[in-house]
A and B are shown apart, each in its own frame.
Chain A
Amino acid sequence: NAGVTQTPKFQVLKTGQSMTLQCAQDMNHEYMSWYRQDPGMGLRLIHYSVGAGITDQGEVPNGYNVSRSTTEDFPLRLLSAAPSQTSVYFCASSYGQGKEETQYFGPGTRLLVL
C-alpha cells in the first residue's frame, strides 16, 4: 500500500490564482480530512469527509472547497489564493470514526502564495 499520497509537494502561486491540492489513499478508509500547519499554531482542521459524497467544515474552512466523489480521493481547492494561505497542508485518513481509530497522514504540500 502507498498509504496517503499528496501532490504536488511544493507549489508557488500568485495572489488570486486557483489550484487544487490532490490527496489519495489506497487503504479503503472512509474518513479523510485536510489540515494546515502554521508556525506557532499547530495543525488546524480545514474540511473533512466521513464518506463519499459527504463533506463538512472544520475549524478554518474559509477560502477552501472540497468534494468527495470517490472513497480514494479528497481534493482541496483554493479558488482565489491569498498570502494568508501560505502554509503546509496535510491530508489524513482513517478507517472509521471509532475511539480506536488511528489517523494516517500524507507527506504534505508546501504552498507559497506571493
Chain B
Amino acid sequence: KQEVTQIPAALSVPEGENLVLNCSFTDSAIYNLQWFRQDPGKGLTSLLLIQSSQREQTSGRLNASLDKSSGRSTLYIAASQPGDSATYLCAVSPGANNLFFGTGTRLTVIP
C-alpha cells in the first residue's frame, strides 16, 4: 500500500524567507503527484500537479519538483508572505485519479 509522508509536520518562518516542504512516497508507480493547500475549516485547493514523466512545475512563487525513482517531491515557496499560512498537503495518484495523501505540513509565516 502506498504510504505518503510529509516532513516537517509544522513550520514557522519569518515573512520573506524562502522555504521547502518535503514529501516522500513508498511506491514509485504513480500517475502524478499533486500539492494542495488547505486553509482552516476549508476545502483543498490544488496548487500544482506534476505528471509522472515531468521533473518540476512552477506557478508564481511556487515550484514543485518530483524525483519518482527516489520517491520524493519538494514544494519550494519563494519570498513567503503571511497569506501563505496554511496546511500544505501532498498526494500521489496510482491511477484513476484516486489519491493517497500525506498528513500535511502546517505553515505559519510570521509578519
Q: Does B63 lie at the interface of the complex (its beta carbon under 8 Å from any beta carbon of A)?
A: no
Q: Does A33 lie at the interface of the complex (its beta carbon under 8 Å from any beta carbon of B)?
A: yes
Give chain B residues whose Cβ lies under 8 Å from the Cβ of A48. Answer: 96-98
Tell me which residues from 79 to 114 in chain A have a Cβ below 8 Å from any Cβ of chain B: 90, 92, 94, 96-97, 99-108
- Of all chain A residues, the one with the shortest Cβ separation from B51 is A99
In the complex, which range does the number of interface residues on chain B fall in?
Answer: 20 to 34
- Whether the Cβ atoms of B99 and A45 lie closer than 8 Å is yes
Tell me the bound Cα distance from A10 to B53 in angstroms.
40
Tell me the bound Cα distance from A107 to B51 in angstroms.
26
The residue that A43 contacts in the complex, of B52, B96, B97, B99, with Cβ under 8 A, is B99
Tell me which residues from 68 to 86 in chain B have a Cβ below 8 Å from any Cβ of chain A: none
Give chain B residues whose Cβ lies under 8 Å from the Cβ of A45. Answer: 98-100
Using known A-B contacts A42-B89, A42-B101, A43-B101, determine if residue A103 contacts B95 with beta carbons closer than 8 Å: no
- Whether the Cβ atoms of B49 and A42 lie closer than 8 Å is no
Tell me the bound Cα distance from A83 to B74 in angstroms.
36
Using known A-B contacts A107-B42, A108-B43, determine if residue A42 contacts B97 with beta carbons closer than 8 Å: no
Q: Does B20 lie at the interface of the complex (its beta carbon under 8 Å from any beta carbon of A)?
A: no
- Whether the Cβ atoms of A33 and B101 lie closer than 8 Å is no
Task: List residues of chain A with CB under 8 Å of any chain B CB.
Answer: 4, 31, 33, 35, 40-45, 48, 50, 58, 90, 92, 94, 96-97, 99-108
Q: List 17 A-B residue pairs with CB atoms under 8 Å apart, sorted by A's residue number.
A: A4-B43, A31-B97, A33-B97, A35-B99, A40-B103, A42-B89, A43-B91, A43-B99, A48-B96, A96-B97, A97-B95, A100-B49, A102-B34, A102-B46, A104-B46, A105-B43, A105-B45
Q: A41-B103, A58-B98, A92-B44 are in contact. List 6 more A-B contacts (CB 8 A).
A: A45-B100, A90-B43, A97-B95, A97-B97, A100-B32, A105-B45
